[in-house]
Amino acid sequence: MKTTAHTFRSWLIATRPWSFPASAMPVLVTCAYLYWMGEPVNWLLGLWTLINVVLFHAAGNTWSDYNDYRKGVDREDTIGGTSIVSGEFKAHEIKVLSLALLAVAVVSGIGLMLCVGLPLLYFGIAGALLSLGYPWLKYHALGDVDIFLTYSVLPILGTSYAVLGHINYSVAWLMLPIGLITVGILHINNTRDIDQDGRAGIRTLAMLLGKRASAYVYVAEMLLPFVLVLVSAICGAMPWWSLVVCLVLVPAIANCRAALRFPAEGMDAVAGIDEKTAQLQLMFSLLLTVSLVLTTLL
């Protein structure tokens, strides 16, 4: 049987790179927040942490695609995660890619741990377990919890330890504003796929809530981060300049309107909304990062 040669670009696309802001931005924002607090941030270790977290993310994406294919969640009519069902890749190729990425991430993490300290190992182990366990947790309505832990709590606390050598627990102020948007990427995916997931015999939070309630939950995940930044500024936990994130309220509201149309209009109403939510995460986090750095410098 002839084996199809894949280009680097096709391998890269198979990892779903549009979703990487969900893992990269918590690291970047945490470094900026610690810098604003006057902490001696090691930016080189911060960059290393960012790369390592993205590697874990890529491994998690491909592992999820492999398991969704095996479970029958992803089929020819599925939107997203189609690297296998489209015939471009065989299932074992995505499995090997996932395990290879995980191995590289683990080796990189061990190197980072040797530079920083043993406690960093615990963050790495937790991240690896949550990535590998994500498919099972997703199929049992716990995917949203997994994502919040994996792409908010762990990278924010872990980054603090990596760049400082200890955890500054003030970074907890970042967890909900950053984490809710990230969870929204998964939640709107699961909301869109309620019917497809149902035929596969799995159970997601969106399925438990139903289409209309799930749309309202997504709206809350998009809008609450702006409220939380305002509350943080009032409490002095963030500078007033952090309210510059409100510049992306327009795309956030547009995403919300699309989600609210979904129960009546179906999948067409939310076409591409997962990527738009990831873009919102990128813009929100970059604006927050810039505000923290500029407030410190000016």
> What pTM does this model have?
0.89
Q: What is the pLDDT of residue 72?
A: 73
Query: How does pLDDT run across 24-74, given as a tens digit for each residue?
Result: 999 999 999 999 999 999 999 999 999 999 998 999 889 888 888 887 776
Q: What is the pLDDT of residue 288?
A: 97
Q: What is the pLDDT of residue 199?
A: 79
Query: How does pLDDT run across 158-192, given as a tens digit for each residue?
Result: 999 999 999 999 999 999 999 999 999 999 988 98
Q: What is the pLDDT of residue 1?
A: 39
Q: What is the pLDDT of residue 76?
A: 55
Q: How many H helices and E strands in the chain? A: 13, 0
Residue 229 has pLDDT above 60, yes or no: yes
Residue 136 has pLDDT above 70, yes or no: yes
Name the phi and psi angles at 203, rounded to 5. Answer: -135, 115
The residue whose two tokens read 């491994």 is 59
Burial of 17 from C-beta contacts in 10 A (0-12 / 13-18 / 19+): middle
Cα first-last separation, the chain: 64
Strand partners, 203: 140
Delineate the domains of the chain, giving CATH numbers in brackets. 8-297 (1.10.600)
Residue type, 228: L
